[in-house]
Amino acid sequence: NVEASIPEPQRKAWLAHQTSGFKDKDGFETEVVRHVETTLARSMYNCDEQAAYSACSLAFRDRLILEWNRTQQRQTFADSKRVYYLSLEFLMGRALDNAMLNIGQKDVAKAGLAELGFRIEDVIEQEHDAALGNGGLGRLAACFLDSLASLNYSAWGYGLRYRYGIFKQEIIDGYQVEVPDYWLDFNPWEFPRHDVTVDIQFYGHVTKRTDDNGKTIATWEGGEIVKAVAYDVPIPGYATPSTNNLRLWSSKAASGEFDFQKFNSGDYENSVADQQRAETISAVLYPNDNLDRGKELRLKQQYFWVAASLYDIVRRFKKSRRPWKEFPDQVAIQLNDTHPTLAVVELQRILVDLEGLDWEEAWNIVTNTFGYTNHTVLPEALEKWSVPLFQHLLPRHLQLIYDINLFFLQSVERKFPKDREMLARVSIIEESQPKMVRMAHLAIVGSHKVNGVAELHSDLIKTTIFKDFVEVFGPDKFTNVTNGITPRRWLHQANPRLSELISSKTGSQNFLKDLTELAKIEHYKDDKAFRKEWAEIKYANKVRLAKHIKKTTGVDVNPSALFDVQVKRIHEYKRQQMNIFGVIHRYLTLKSLSPEERKKFQPRVSIFGGKAAPGYWMAKQIIHLINAVGAVVNNDKDIGDLLKVIFLEDYNVSKAEMIIPASDLSEHISTAGTEASGTSNMKFVLNGGLIIGTCDGANIEITREIGEQNIFLFGNLAEDVEDIRHNHTYGSYTVDPDLVKVFEAIEKGTFGEPNDFMGMISAVRDHGDFYLVSDDFHSYIETQELVDKAYRDQEGWITKSIESVARMGFFSSDRCINEYAEGIWNIEPLAVKDQ
């Protein structure tokens, strides 16, 4: 009982405080005005939208803090198992809209803001996205936090508080230019905890001595210390008071301040050097997706964050005064990809070096605590760290890794005697020059469960990259949890009208808590009024996007045209190049027709968006070609509204919330077997868009749920990709004839200087076409023609759209989190009274 724990002299004031915050519109307005005039020290007479945003956020924040405190107290008193989600990325997007919705007071705020002279949409627009992630992996972490809170699980997220999140993308003369994203100017959603700090050690050396009992004691000494400071972000659950915590660590010099002595003696530059070096650790998010570059600073980030988080978790566990063996009953730690894998070693170090446990006992605790989620099979994305770098930065951890590897390889040897090749393949250390630490191997060996993120992907990891480990540990260690998305942000927030239409038919907003209730709308698929409104909502969303396109690119697009969208990170495996080649093919076809014949063509707007990693030359070339094609096509009088090509600058979470509901068709066209799951595919279908895609990732399960008649699948299958690649190198190889024509047009200079695009052409024509662009091109073009035909039958299209949404219940991140809770974490929700 929380109340009983409050000391008597403080209880009266505490009780009064519990009912503070606003109850209605008037109360809300009072709070907004109070924050404008006191917290912000401004006057209502010059309160602009930015100030209204700040004050509105502060008013909601006040409410959130109360529930946040209560939730933390409830979890502490319950003393039950907690789950910790360790992720280097949390792609949160905006917080205010989500807080209003989850608290359930958006209507109150809307009315209150209107009375104060503001439109709620404009106020929401003032917020800067929290973009602490690259793409799918980071956004998945954010959806998981939403579900964990909404389902009342005791859970914490742990991450890094980057001063700069993913860069802002500008398009200048058709090229991507990266601009730093400083997002912390005014951030009401974080709480610095200057009293929660951890000293983190780097470099130094290890000494060993033998104690009185003959036991070897290792001590890590010397080196440098950096301070980790906690910043907490409240995560409100939907329609529940549960408010969980996301703790982000920021780095600071251990001494706190700059060196005054150096400063006084005139050594100005060096007086701040230590401070700056320390702060560099949490300064910037690495902007690569699906590529590992092995930079020292990245390893420093990883250890800094992992060590601070584990210190915190262990400190919390120790308060319960339980024996160590109960650690895995109280703590589950999920590794979001291999980035936090050092946590395995760090926990073993804490238990053995600092707490004096035996190796075996400690290792049991470690392996029962961790679970590892893999997000990719691309070899270039699998993390490896050079042994010399490790030796330098984390000497004790390297020793522990060698010991872990030794015991592991001994166990493999027992199972597979004399199989030296097996040992070399599964070893945590790669015997290369220099030697490398394979983080995925360490993560598998250190966890009790390993999961992939869609069925095909989970099967693939078992039969390819982790095949040997299935033999070593048996198949039960490997499992699947198909990804999901939160319907709160990706349906209700992004598409309020559709959400309202659905609730009017399902009878309540309960589908936002149990997405399988969407099935009920299928009864209305022949209902004329329902269908009409369904179509009107899509159209209105397209009008909104068309306005944004006009404002940001100057191009007029017709909202009645088919909106064909591909928005995601730019990567060769995701094949935006195939899409733009297809667009060129369409353009050439249109040009070859008479004006009369052209009129029969289905008008389209091809919309692209996404960032390229700054060092990814080919991805940047793809962006340039898309813009170059747009510049020609959009100004061609013969073409008019029949085809427009748009590149939307700076794709991010808040733009996704506007773009996704406006799509008729979206493209998920990765080479089969390369996209682990994809999650935007789920978002598009949930918003009534159809998809064209390959048999890859979650597309396969989406097809199973919504029915083959409702999706446009094409291309080669994952099981055939290897043979086809082999044939490219050793057999006969010719480029698809339609694609040859596309290349000829580019080479003729139709879209400007051909040399600018030769990399993309020769990757297909001269360098083995690794991503099978040519092999899939014909089937892609044909399927696009089927799309045109299907779209012309508007009634048929609407039916497909309604059926698809009705059958998307499976893809809620709530389902996904419940699967993790049951199958991996062994944890149950914490009951919330008075819910």
Query: Which residue ranges make up the site for ligand F58 (CB under 6 A)?
Result: 134-137, 140, 288-290, 375-376, 381, 453, 483, 675-679, 697
Dihedral of CA atoms 487, 492, 497, 501 in degrees, nearest 10, equals 60
Please say whether the beta carbons of 340 and 86 come within 8 A: yes
| CA-angle at 310, arms to 344 and 818, nearest 5° | 80
Sign of the dihedral defined by the CA atoms of residues 144, 150, 156, 157, in that order: positive
Cβ atoms of 243 and 144 within 8 Å: the answer is no
Toward ligand F58, which CB reaches closer, 81 or 462?
A: 462
Q: Contact at 8 Å (CB) between 814 and 237?
A: no
683 in catalytic set: yes
CA-to-CA distance for 678 and 669, rounded, in angstroms?
Answer: 10
**CB nearer to ligand F58: pick between 328 and 484:** 484
Taking the complex as a whole, the smallest distance from the CB of residue 825 to ligand F58 amounts, in Å, to 17
Q: Which of 25, 569, 604, 668 is catalytic?
A: 569
Which residue type is seen at 222? G
| Angle separating helix axes 25-34 and 106-115, nearest 10 degrees | 60
Catalytic site residue 726?
Answer: no
Residue 294: CB atoms within 10 A of its CB come to: 12
Query: Which residue is at the shortest CB distance from ligand F58?
Result: 136
Q: Is 679 among the residues known to form the active site?
A: yes
- Min dist. Cβ of residue 481 to ligand F58 (A): 10
Q: Is 568 a catalytic residue?
A: yes
Helix intervals (H) in 554-637: 576-592, 595-598, 617-633
Closest CA to 666 of 651, 652, 686: 686
To ligand F58, the closest distance from the beta carbon of 805 in angstroms equals 20
Mark 520-530 as b/e (b = at least 16 C-beta within 10 Å): ebeebbeeeeb
Q: In whole angstroms, what is the distance from residue 449 CA to residue 451 CA? A: 7
Query: For residues 772 and 160, what is the distance between their CA atoms, to the nearest angstrom?
Result: 37
Residues 6+ apart with CB under 8 A from 388: 434
Q: Dump the DSSP string for 337-396.
A: SSTTTHHHHHHHHIIIIIT---HHHHHHHHHHHEEEE-----GGGS-EEEHHHHHHH-HH
For ligand F58, give the closer residue by CB, 153 or 286.
286
In which element (H, E) is residue 564 found? strand 562-567
Q: Shortest Cβ distance from residue 608 to ligand F58 (Å)? A: 18
CB nearer to ligand F58: pick between 89 and 468: 89
Q: What six digits make up the tokens of 773?
A: 């662009």
574 flagged as catalytic:
yes
* 677 closest CA partner among 141, 140, 286, 159: 140
Q: Which two tokens stand for residue 90?
A: 């949390």
CA–CA separation, 379 and 384 (whole Å) = 10
* Nearest C-alpha neighbor of 347 from the set 297, 309, 296, 300: 309
Q: Choose between 453 and 498: whose C-beta lies nearer to ligand F58.
A: 453
Task: Give dist(CA 649, CA 172) in Å, integer.
Answer: 10
What is the dihedral angle through the alpha carbons of 609, 658, 129, 378, rounded to the nearest 10 degrees? -40
Smaller CB distance to ligand F58: residue 58 or 437?
437
Could you tell me the smallest distance in angstroms from the CB atom of residue 727 to ligand F58?
26
Alpha helices, DSSP H only, in 708-772? Answer: 718-730, 737-747, 758-765
Give the C-alpha distances (Å, rounded to integers) separating 573 from 290, 337, 671, 753, 758: 10, 19, 6, 25, 18
* Options 574, 624, 644, 765, the catalytic residue: 574
Catalytic member of 197, 679, 750, 783: 679
Instruction: Specify the residue, 385 or 534, whose C-beta has the smaller distance to ligand F58.
Output: 385
Q: Shortest Cβ distance from residue 86 to ligand F58 (Å)?
A: 13
What SS3 class is residue 218?
strand
**Closest separation in Å from C-beta 30 to ligand F58:** 43
Strand locations in 355-504, DSSP E?
A: 370-373, 384-386, 429-430, 436-438, 449-452, 478-480
Catalytic residue among 568, 611, 800, 807: 568
Residues with catalytic roles: 375, 568-569, 574, 679, 683
